[in-house]
């Protein structure tokens, strides 16, 4: 079929389909009113969607529970204690365990809140508390056989604001997470956390 013949066939088909005057008037009216209605409808839908989304975000943020730094530390310590990951260094002597932690900017120490007469040191491993590298020491009670996790890290007064300082006469705070009680305090420039026996 040549291009000229194709043009004639298409032209004939177009002329075969025709509208009467009433149909043509109706089509013209629809075209004149439909776009405004459709654009307004889309605009209303879009505005409603944005309003609902914005309201949902505000409600979600206001309902989000905020937990205290103490509870966040307690949750982290409890999770790590429950897992009891393998120790990276094993020894009952603090000096040997201390020498393993070369990547810390402090030396792991004892605390007056831990009775090392009844708690036997088993060893330690690296961990973190709120994103700060920490030492996790594992202790075992000679009498009961219970295992405790004893954490210590550098004290950052901004991150750990509000944690009791026992050097200032304050008492450790106890939080509970996943069935584990955790004592948290500041002492000698370090943050400590220990699972309770």
Confidence of residue 174 (pLDDT cuts 50, 70, 90): very high
Count CB atoms within 10 A of the CB of residue 151: 26
Dist CA 33 CA 147 (whole Å): 78
CA nearest to 87, candidates 143, 141, 140: 140
pLDDT, position 4: 59
Question: How many helices (DSSP H) and strands (DSSP E) are in the chain?
Answer: 4, 7
Q: Any idea which architecture 69-195 has in CATH?
A: 3-Layer(aba) Sandwich (3.40)
What value does the mean pLDDT take over residues 88-98? 95
The mean pLDDT value of the chain amounts to 84
| Of residues 166 and 117, more confidently modeled | 166
What residues contact 164, with CB distance under 8 A and at least 6 apart? 170, 171, 172, 173, 184, 185, 186
Domain ranges of the chain: 3-63, 69-195
What residues contact 19, with CB distance under 8 A and at least 6 apart? 27
pLDDT in tens, 2-16: 555 666 666 666 666
Query: Is the CB of residue 89 less than 8 Å from the CB of residue 97?
Result: yes
Share of the chain above pLDDT 70, in %: 73
Query: Is the CB of residue 153 less than 8 Å from the CB of residue 135?
Result: yes
pLDDT at 157 over 60: yes
pLDDT, position 23: 73
What value does the mean pLDDT take over residues 61-71? 75
């Amino acid at each position: 079929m040549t291009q000229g013949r194709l043009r004639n066939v298409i032209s004939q088909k177009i002329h075969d389909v025709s509208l009467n005057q009433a149909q043509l008037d109706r089509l013209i009216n629809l075209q004149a009113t439909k776009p405004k209605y459709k654009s307004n409808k889309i605009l209303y839908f879009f505005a409603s969607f944005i309003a609902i989304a914005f309201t949902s975000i505000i409600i979600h943020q206001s309902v989000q529970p905020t937990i205290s730094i103490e509870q966040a530390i307690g949750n982290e310590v409890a999770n790590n204690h429950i897992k009891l990951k393998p120790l990276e260094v094993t020894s009952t002597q603090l000096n040997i365990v201390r020498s393993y932690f070369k990547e810390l900017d402090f030396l792991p120490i004892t605390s007056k809140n831990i009775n090392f007469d009844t708690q036997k040191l088993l060893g330690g491993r690296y961990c973190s508390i709120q994103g700060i590298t920490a030492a996790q020491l594992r202790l075992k009670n000679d009498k009961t056989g219970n295992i405790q996790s004893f954490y210590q890290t550098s004290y950052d007064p901004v991150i750990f604001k509000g944690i009791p300082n026992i050097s200032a006469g304050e008492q450790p705070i106890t939080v509970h997470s996943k069935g584990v009680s955790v004592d948290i305090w500041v002492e000698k420039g370090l943050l400590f956390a220990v699972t309770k026996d």
